[in-house]
Amino acid sequence: MRIHTNLFLGKGIKKPEKMLKKLNSGKLPAKFYFAAFYNGGDRLEIFMSYFFVQKYYRKQEYEVVGVFKSKDDAFDYVRALSEISVKKYGDFYARKTIDSLSAFELEMLKEKKTNECFDHIT
């Protein structure tokens, strides 16, 4: 499991590296959600932390782009990303959008201010 350079931390997430280390060792952490690319693909998926207790999931390759305390926060992140992507590129390109996020856009996502992101894009 790798961490993307533009890792997004939802509210209340402090030490994602510690959580990922626990997951990789098979220990059951608290309930969290991860937005990740699976097996090097471009499709963004949301996983509950409990999945990673199973050996099958721990053996797969994931690139974590977001860590969240609730499913709603994870889906809000993906929704905001899709809005930014459509505004920038005319379609939803998850990897391309995440790779190109500026520090400003990441901060606006964290504060759920996608309108400011749109002003910045145009």
pLDDT digits 0-9 by tens, 36-54: 998 878 889 998 888 877 7
Per the CB < 8 A criterion, the answer to whether 120 and 105 are in contact is yes
pLDDT at 116 over 70: no
CA separation for the pair 11, 25 (Å, rounded): 25
State pTM to two decimals.
0.78
Measuring CA to CA, which residue among 46, 44, 115 is closest to residue 83?
Answer: 115
pLDDT at 29: 64
